[in-house]
Chains A and B, each alone.
Chain A
Amino acid sequence: MKLASPDRPLIMRGVERTSLGRFLLWLVPWLALLAFGLYGAYLCLALGLNQTNLDNRFAFGLWIFLDLAVIALGAGAFFTGFLLYILRREELADLINSAVVVGFVCYSGAVVILMIDVGQPLRAWFTFWHPNVHSMLTEVTFCITCYLLVLFIEYIPIVLRNRRLRRIPAFLVFEFNLHKVMVVFAAVGTFLSFFHQGSLGGLYGVLQGRPFAFREGFAIWPTTFFLFILSAIAVGPAFLMLVTRLAEALTRKRLVHPRVYTLLGRISGWLLVSYVLLKSVDTLIWLNRTAPAVGFLGHDFYVHAAFGTWILFAEIVLFGLAPALMLLIPRVRQGRWAIVAALLACFGIALNRFVMTIQTLSLPSLPFDKLLLYWPSWQEMASFLAVIAYAVILFSLSYRYLPLYPRERELQADRDPDSVAPRAASRTTLAVGGAGAGTLPTSRR
């Protein structure tokens, strides 16, 4: 008998996992980072937010910026669910479980950071008791809470699919029944995500007192509402692509069928192009109409050395248009450059969130005021690193013990040198009958 890891009974059948020792070794640095970050977070909670470098002018800082970025990147979860369960893009079944886990770690991490960020975390429930329905933040709070619940519910069946847990009939049956109604959760998740992604943008767009962020819009929603939704769903698939590629590189395995990347790239590319287009139009309207109407010239925003017009160029062209065009060219999309394009796109969205949060606050609004800069304290950075560590640990554990990539086993078998052709790829092709199986693209290297 092959010498098996002590945790082999917990690992899905037919997939290769590294030994328990190596896995624990991989976790050690992340656990150390988590412990360090938790200490930083503890300081912030115990001693107060004076532990941060936030101040009365920089009311929002690193945390809010990264929360917004992480939530945008986590949009892949709801968008994949939408494409799979509602639009029936079955090829995404390869990836949906990992998308849910990515979404869950992103959102739960962001919510945890928010709880440290507010001065009185124990009063978080007040928003539900005294909601100001005119505030974008109320909408964000309601939607993110609900959506985190949705992600949690979507995570349950993945956990219950663990080989050991499935043996317990109650878990097996619950997983089965939950999976049957997943389309409802996907639909609700889509609805909620649209609103909170948008409201996160609206958070800044409605700031009439901050001409750099203020935008006109439709009804109660400023244009940033729509731009945030569009950018989030454009970059969500790109981020999933990156995570999956990274997982494939680290495990040296093929985890999803290559056509999944092609699909994600194409979706991301088209959405990014439309985002860049609308963002450009919005920027022009803002510079020439919205800002002057409240007494500011577009020029005023870019006179400071730290935030020159280069940041506008970087956001829209370098990290927007460039990756969008790259993803639209089929040859690039299918090649290794797709990773670069996805990376650029993710960076571009992070830059956009940075501009909306940090640059908005650092630009002076009073005529006698100066540009103000801020550098986060180690406690702030550590708290966020803890979230990164938490994300890596949870994803690693999920990858090891749960069926994150349902087709991993099949793709693994396909790579066996003597594998024969009749191995149909998915349920859709199976319906045609076994005869069609041979015509599928083979993933043998």
Chain B
Amino acid sequence: MLPGIYEFQWTLGHLIFLGAFFTVLGILVSVLFVSLRKSRIDLQGRRAEVIRWQQSFQQLPADQRQCRHALAGRTQPRVCQRGFACGECPFHARLLASGTAPRTALFGEGSCPAGSGDLFGFAMPASRLYHRGHTWVEQRADGTLVAGLDDLGSRLIGAAPQVELPAIGTEISAQGTGWQICRAGADPVHVLAPVSGTVIATGGPEKGWYLRLQPVRIDAGLEHLLHGEEIRPWVQAELQRLQRRLSPECLGPSLADGGLPVADFPAAYPGVDWDTVWSETFLTD
């Protein structure tokens, strides 16, 4: 019987029992309320993309989370725990300080080797910086950045995709959704933005899809991008992974024989679960 009910009396039993019950109920409701409130704050602070990346990163298999320095052979195999945010990584800072790893080459420092950048038949110019989600970034003289899908990525998507670029003026953030690509009959692929910035111009199909961005940070925030000698081992590891995925029997796009990779992978491998391959390649869920 509760207070206010006819013949109600407080006894020790009532105190203990109702006390325990309402404590439990209170905990449940308040924890639920706190989560709802935090969700609201996160939504207002536009943290959804950050959270999405955190979760996608957690679900990546270990070989896709290898540290860039491990890929480049500078250190023992090492799995990244920070969502590829090298700028915040003390290990990265240590290697930079000791000179084991070169700093990110920025435009004008002249450390970028020239050339078409042919890597295993893919055009991956070493003058660009690469995001692990198969996008590239180039810094222009005026301080703006240009970002696009790399050659391996575009071939995996294949021919004639529908691309949905963000509108000019949109702020995009690194590891958030950069743009969407949709191939007919498939779920749209979210391509991760390689850097943070405000979209100031976009390029259509005739010039190759790209975004021109005004960086948010003064130093452009490029520490997490792969460059120089890191590109080759990364592409190699990616190709090995794709090879396993596309042709488990090792009969597929054999790279050792010097043949050129096809331009439209989905057309060449119709039996493959492309939806999954894309999500693994572009690191989105």
Contacts and interface: CB of A to CB of B under 8 A. Distances in A.
Interface of A: 1-2, 4, 8-9, 13-14, 129-131, 133-134, 138-139, 142, 146, 149-150, 153, 163, 166, 169-170, 172-174, 176-178, 180-181, 184-185, 188, 191-192, 410, 413, 416-420, 422-424, 427, 430-431, 433-435, 437
A174 B39 contact: yes
A166 B272 CA distance: 24
B28 A1 contact: no
Interface in B63-85: 63, 65-66, 70, 76-79, 81
A146 B24 contact: yes
Interface in B48-66: 48, 51-52, 54-55, 58, 61-63, 65-66
A139 B248 contact: no
Nearest to A164: B187
Contacts of B250: 418
B248 A417 contact: yes
B208 interface: no
A288 B81 CA distance: 62
Contact of A139 (B17, B55, B66): B17
B79 to A, nearest CB: 5
Interface in B2-22: 2, 5, 11, 13-14, 16-18, 21
B43 A133 contact: no
A181 B31 contact: yes
Contacts of B276: 13-14
B13 to A, nearest CB: 4
A419 B51 contact: no
A433 B280 contact: no
Given A134-B13, A174-B36, A430-B79, A129 B248 contact: no
Nearest to A9: B187
A163 B271 CA distance: 22
- Do most interface residues of chain A lie in helix, strand or loop, or is the interface mixed? helix
A180 B273 CA distance: 32
B66 to A, nearest CB: 7
Interface residues of B, number: 60
Contacts, number: 140
Given A181-B35, A430-B81, 13 more contacts: A131-B1, A131-B2, A131-B17, A133-B11, A133-B13, A153-B32, A169-B43, A172-B48, A185-B31, A188-B28, A410-B61, A430-B79, A434-B78
A131 B42 CA distance: 41
Contacts of B108: none
A184 B27 contact: yes
Interface in B226-285: 240, 244, 248-250, 266, 270-276, 279-280, 285
Contact of B39 (A2, A170, A430, A433): A170
Contacts of A192: 24
B244 A420 contact: yes
B25 interface: yes
A174 B13 CA distance: 38
A176 B229 CA distance: 37
A430 B65 CA distance: 10
Contacts of B11: 133
